[in-house]
Structure 1
Amino acid sequence: MSCGCKSHKDVVVNAAPEFSAEETWHLTVQKGKEFAPLEGQKEITIRINPEAGTFDGCSGCNRYFGTFKDLGKGKMILSDFNGTKMACPEAFHKVESNYMQLLHRCNGYRITAYTLELLQDDKVLLSFDKVTE
């Protein structure tokens, strides 16, 4: 009896998805409620680039950006927030302000192939779907 040897590739089972710098996520749920932009308002988006240690996106009217640090095990720090200061309708500004207040509170995340949840401790504050072309 003979045994043959085959070369094989290592297979990673149940690997957690990771952030990709090219991926943009759009807001779908805010504090447990479905979210849709107001008529004429831009989508709220986020993009996280762990290699560069940055995040950026659109908050409905303005662009925002800052520093991202992955602490492992779904924990993170978002800091050094900055952004543009475009004039927007008051209603857009209110939506934007609410979003940014929640984003500042986020200290964790869960990510799947198509969904990103940003958490404060274990509570989901913001949910995003991956933007697909």
Structure 2
Amino acid sequence: MIRILNMSLKYKFILLCFCVVLSCAQDKKESQDSNTTESIENTSWLVVNLKGETEFSRQPTIRIDLSGKGISGSSGCNRYFGDVTINKNQVKISNVGSTKMMCNNINTEQLFFEALNEATFFKAEGNTLKLMSKDKKVIIECSHLKEGN
């Protein structure tokens, strides 16, 4: 009887270990799929939604260079540049400057810089990047730009 009980406990222990290993592997895969700095390192993004606006005469872009801790791109009118710091799912964009070309419709640019200033959190999943305000409302949504586009 004790021998059967020991065999039963051995199989339960093996099953428990197997479940723990599978669970750890799944957690690792999920953490790799989103919100890692590697997922946005040296990437370019096309803004597809800016505080509810989806129609642009010229779409803003975002380029993130974490090695140089910089952000740059087009505001839809002017080129811009600034500093970016990322810690887990938090983002801080600061010291943003831009060229000063005249544009017919400056509203997109003003809205874009306002949203960059409000960005507090980010979420990167696959080909989508979302920048969110402190209340975690999506203020900028982007799709990944392939290099060379």
| TM-score, scaled relative to structure 2 | 0.71
Match of 2:96 in 1: 81
Cα distance in 2 for partners of 1:47, 1:112 equals: 16
Cα distance in 2 for partners of 1:131, 1:36 equals: 18
Tell whether 2:56 aligns with 1:37: yes
1:42-121 matches, within 5 Å, as: 42-72=58-88, 74-89=89-104, 91=105, 93-121=106-134
Cα distance in 1 for partners of 2:133, 2:103 equals: 28
Match of 2:40 in 1: 19
Change (3 A) 1:126 1:64: same
Percent identical:
24
Change (3 A) 1:88 1:34: closer
CA RMSD between the two structures: 1.5
Cα distance in 1 for partners of 2:53, 2:139 equals: 12
Tell whether 2:143 aligns with 1:123: no
Number of aligned pairs?
115
Structure 2, unmatched stretches of 5+, are 1-24
Determine which structure has the larger strand proportion and give its number. 1
Deviations 1:4-53 (A, max 9, x none): xxxxxxx75221352121x210111122x251222xxx321001111210
Q: Which structure has the larger Rg?
A: 2
The answer to whether the Cα contact below 8 Å between 2:50 and 2:111 also exists between their aligned partners in 1 is no
Determine which structure has the larger helix proportion and give its number. 2
The runs of 4+ residues in structure 1 deviating greater than 4 Å are: none
Task: Give 1:77 shift.
Answer: 0.8
Structure 1, unmatched stretches of 5+, are 1-10
